[in-house]
Amino acid sequence: MTRITLIFINLFISFLSFGQQKIDISGKVINKETKEIVVHAFLKVGNQITVLTNHQGEFHLQDLPLGNLNLDISHIAYASKKISIDLSKDTIFSIELTPKSINLDEISIQKVGTTNTANTLKIEQRKESQGKNLAEVLADIAGVSTLKTGATIAKPMINGLFGNRIILLNNGTRHESQQWGLDHAPEIDPFAYQKISILKNAEAIRYGADALGGLVKMEPQDIVQNKLVAGSVNIGANSNGRGGFINTQLEGNKNNFSYRAGITGIKAGNLKTSDYYIGNTGKTELNGNILLQYKKNNHKIDLYTSHFGTELGIFQGAHIGTKEDIFARIAYGRPFENYDFSYAITAPKQTVNHQLAKLGYSYQIDNNQKLETYYSIQKNHRREYDLRRVQSDNTPMADIVLTTQQLEAVYKNRNTKIGVFGSLQINNNTSGTGTTPIIPNFDNHNVALFASHKINYGRHYAEIGARYDYKYFDAAGYRFAHDQLNSDGSTPQYLLKDRRDFSNFSGVIGNTLSLFQALTWKSNLALAWRAPSASELYSDGIHHGTGTYEIGNINLQSEQGLKWVNTITYKNQWLNLNADLFGQVIDNYIYSQPNPDAVKQTIRGTFPIFQYQQDDAVFYGLDLQAEVQLTQNWDYLLSFSSVRAKNTTKNSYLPYIPADRVQQAIAYNFLLRDNNSSYIKLKHQYQAKQSRYEANSDFAAPPAGYHTFDIIANTTWKTQQSRTISLLLSIENMFNTAYKDYLDRFRYYTHSIGRNTAIKINYTF
């Protein structure tokens, strides 16, 4: 009887155990840093079960055995993770993944698409652009052109639009500077930002309504968390200008504190075309930045500060004595004067300093909700020097200080963002220059409300965003009464006091269809608007950096643009293709039109007159970027940009629109040893002549098209201590081609620069 009882008890216990063998687990995979959901993460249980998180970041595993469970979690953008769980009952939990760190800068360009990556500059391309300014770094991207003022100043142009139509987002803060001038390049050090992207989706609504051209978003990468001290040293030298750069970055983490600090120095002398030096084209630059972070529980505090300082020489031959001299120099095609190499920077020149300080705070309410807020202050101080009668007089002709304060608060959940933004901008002209400022003093107030929402359906999703802005503008300063003359023939002045406000709605709606695994179609329709800037309204004087006399138009109205972009992305094992077809209608488009029949004679010389005017316009075109893996070792890269722009009011072509451009490269990749990667690349660029041009609308017709070739060789070695050292040698414009670029405002007087040999050394630890 006892034996039968024991057998019965054992059978009963076994039955109960068997009934508890089936365990279910579920939960979410989230980003450890931002607490956002991670879509399409792989979860594996041994070699038996594999599941993929859905569009909500959720997973569900059923019928698991009782006891210890080993789970492998992986994702292409995150570090892999292994966890062990003791299963005794059904369980719901969250898994946190850490984003992968990127050793070198990556730049992703998103036209009007609704995803976060459309085109990406690879690590080797970022190395190749080290030491260049922001516009030159972006120049390899289809649809991005470079608007130049001589050999030293460049600013980015996206699909034919530039300046205040492009928002520069500097570490989460709108970069505010005096970018109203064509010679006012962005005061940004590309070394400080490892993630640079161009956004035109619903997320861009958060940052402003005036991004008719695009939004350039610059962010630092995540700070290394497993080291107290890490960083990099980057050194380079160039033959053209006999200049070089050095950049050092340090970063690390201990407990809840993280830090990053960087410093960059650049120096160069007079640049050279294919056969002559361009006088007074040297530059010096000293930049620095510090980022401090504190994280504890659901709280995160960021303190960021940066300084950008530069001194730039302006080609003296752009400041002309008489009207006849202007046309004589244009006809001659090059400077009358002969210049030698020199590091000296004399008038005309610019000195610019830009400081930014930002304090940010975020609170993770729960796994799906987050609150972000920040306050920032920027100070941009620009001094422009011209040739004076007394050579020893080092007083600037323009001395302008722009101070901008911004405050933003945003609530975010899984698919929705709602926020409020406010800014106060004060522009002051420093007295004592002895000249009338080209733009008056002004105060600019801006308040905005915005919201965006994402809707997931199957493998597809849609986005919608809306924003309302109110701007109040108050300006005061002396202007010239050009329709009157004093008895001595001079132009009288009057005190201008002008107040006005602007307000409007902007919005975007987009849809992304995953047609099949390799093909995605994205379509976005965006409504944007831009109030006229102070320079467009009130400019009246010599713009020393461009060597022009600019006259504003106080009757200008706000621009309103409607842009439609369709993006096709195709990616398989050997082809990565991205094509953007865009069209944009802009009512009240503001532009500066040269007047070849009129010049302004002053005591400092004779200058071409550029006047601001306004008409309706249409822009359309195609941007194509492709990467083809021909074999295991050979790659082919292709970039094509085409934009058309017309003044629909006058049925004429608009000035300063880029002509068609083709860039291509072929690269051979090889290994010298197991711990090495190397490549040799041959690049070619063809810039067509701008044939869509109104005759007699400029001082000189568009120059001829041109071809340039570059060759690049790079080798990178990795050590056992996870350190890398790389050596890059390049020859740009290797055939020393003499050419002029239509988008260079100094093409009237000089050619573009010739051959440049560069060497760059990078060390990371």
Tell me the pLDDT tens digit for each residue of 689-722. Answer: 999 998 888 878 999 999 999 999 999 998 877 7
Q: Are 706 and 605 within one domain?
A: yes
pLDDT in the model for residue 281? 94
Tell me, what CATH number does 377's domain have?
2.40.170.20
Question: Contact 604/695 with Cβ under 8 angstroms?
Answer: no
Among 450, 302, 297, which Cα is nearest to 374's?
Answer: 302
Residue 220 lies in a domain: yes
In contact, 269 and 279? CB cutoff 8 Å:
no
pTM summary value: 0.81
Give the residue-averaged pLDDT of 544-564: 86
Instruction: Report strand pairing: 519-530 vs 559-571.
Output: antiparallel
- Which candidate, 311, 387, 382, places its Cα nearest to that of 348? 387
Shared domain for 575 and 463, answered yes or no, is: yes
- Final residue before a domain boundary, out of 53, 68, 97: 97
Q: Are 157 and 198 in contact (CB under 8 A)?
A: no
Q: Lowest-pLDDT range, 1-15, 239-253, 489-503? A: 1-15
Assign 6 a pLDDT band (cuts: 50, 70, 90). Answer: very low
Among 52-61, 144-153, 272-281, 536-545, which is the least confidently predicted range?
52-61
Q: Pick from 49, 64, 51: which is nearest to 95 by CA?
A: 51
Kindly report the number of other CB atoms within 10 A of residue 85's CB atom: 15
299-313 and 283-296 strand pairing: antiparallel
Q: Which residues contact 402 (CB under 8 A, 6 or more apart)?
A: 176, 177, 178, 378, 379, 380, 381, 382, 425, 426, 427
Q: Residue 1 domain-assigned?
A: no
Indicate the range of 64-78, 215-229, 442-456, 677-691 predicted with least confidence. Answer: 64-78
211 and 114 fall within a common domain: yes
Element (H, E) at 332: helix 323-332
Examine the domain organization and report whether 234 and 126 are in the same domain: yes
User: Considering only 244-253, 518-527, 545-554, which range has the smallest mean pLDDT?
Assistant: 545-554
Diameter of the chain measured on Cα atoms: 134
**Per-residue confidence (pLDDT) for residue 597, from 0 to 100:** 67
Shared-domain flag, residues 195 and 64: no
Residue 10, in any domain of the structure? yes
339 and 213 within one domain: yes
- Among 74, 97, 120, where does a domain finish? 97
580 and 521 within one domain: yes
Between residues 12 and 426, which one has the greater pLDDT? 426
pLDDT of amino acid 62: 80
Residues 438 and 517 in one domain: yes
Q: What's the first-to-final CA gap in the chain, in angstroms?
A: 76
300-330 per-position pLDDT tens digit: 999 999 999 999 998 887 766 666 777 888 8
Q: Is the pLDDT of residue 76 over 70?
A: no
Res 497: pLDDT = 92
Does the residue 102 lie in any domain? no
More confident residue, 610 or 590: 590
Per-residue confidence band for 620, with pLDDT thresholds at 50, 70 and 90:
very high
- Of 590 and 333, more confident: 590
For position 327, what pLDDT does the model report?
Answer: 80
Give residue 82's domain range: 6-97
Which range is most confident: 18-22, 59-63, 395-399, 442-446? Answer: 442-446
CA distances from 168 to 59, 116, 133, 135 (A): 38, 17, 14, 12
Q: How far apart are CA 591 and CA 459, in angstroms?
A: 43
> Mean pLDDT, to the nearest integer, of 381-393?
75
What whole-number percentage of the chain has pLDDT above 70? 88
Q: Tell me the CA distances in angstroms from 297 to 301, 369, 374, one per residue in order.
A: 12, 14, 19
109 phi, psi to nearest 5 deg: -110, 120
How many angstroms separate the CA atoms of 297 and 694, rounded?
63
Confidence at residue 16, expressed as pLDDT on a 0 to 100 scale: 42
- Where are the extended beta strands (E) located within 2-152? 23-31, 42-45, 49-52, 58-64, 67-75, 78-87, 91-97, 106-109, 119-121, 144-149
Q: Is residue 104, in this structure, part of any structural domain at all?
A: no
* Dihedrals phi, psi of 348, to nearest 5 degrees: -75, 140
- State yes or no: pLDDT of 469 exceeds 90: yes
More confident: 92 or 741: 741
User: In the chain, how many H helices and how many E strands?
Assistant: 5, 41
Report if residue 295 sits inside a domain: yes
Domain total of the chain: 2
pLDDT at site 105: 41
Does residue 250 fall inside a structural domain?
A: yes
Average pLDDT (412-432) is 94
Exposure string of 350-386, with b = 16+ CB inside 10 Å and e = fewer, is bbbbbbbbbebebebeebbebebbbebebebbbbbbb
Q: Is 486 within the bounds of a domain?
A: yes
pLDDT, residue 568, reads 93
Confidence of residue 393 (pLDDT cuts 50, 70, 90): low
Nearest partner of 656 among 172, 148, 282, 264, judged by Cα? 148
Least confident range from 242-251, 569-578, 618-627, 716-725: namely 716-725
72 with 119, same domain: the answer is: no
pLDDT band at residue 545 using 50, 70 and 90 as cut-offs: low
Between 152 and 408, name the one with better pLDDT.
408
Give yes or no: residues 52 and 198 share one domain: no
Instruction: Say if residues 9 and 75 touch (Cβ distance below 8 Å).
Output: no
Does residue 523 share a domain with residue 466? yes
Instruction: Please indicate, yes or no, whether residues 188 and 86 belong to a single structural domain of this protein.
Output: no
Q: What's the confidence (pLDDT) of residue 325?
A: 77
Q: Could you give the dihedral angle defined by the CA atoms of residues 60, 65, 70 and 76, in that order, rounded to the nearest 10 degrees?
A: -30
pLDDT score of 100 more than 70: no
In this structure, what CATH number is given to the domain that contains residue 23? 2.60.40.10
Question: What pLDDT was estimated at residue 20?
Answer: 47
pLDDT tens-digit map of 238-278 = 999 999 999 999 999 999 999 999 999 999 999 999 999 99
The 10s digit of each residue's pLDDT in 112-121 is: 333 443 455 6
Residue 602 has what pLDDT? 64
Gap between the Cα atoms of 621 and 239, Å rounded: 37
- Token pair listed for 423: 């800014």
Nearest of 137, 159, 83, 102 to residue 623 by alpha carbon: 159
Q: Mean pLDDT for the chain?
A: 86
Choose the final residue of a domain: 42, 65, 97. 97
CA distances from 263 to 192, 249, 306, 693 (A): 8, 7, 10, 44
- For residues 224 and 230, give the distance between their C-alpha atoms in angstroms, rounded to a whole number: 7
Strands 166-170 and 161-162: unpaired
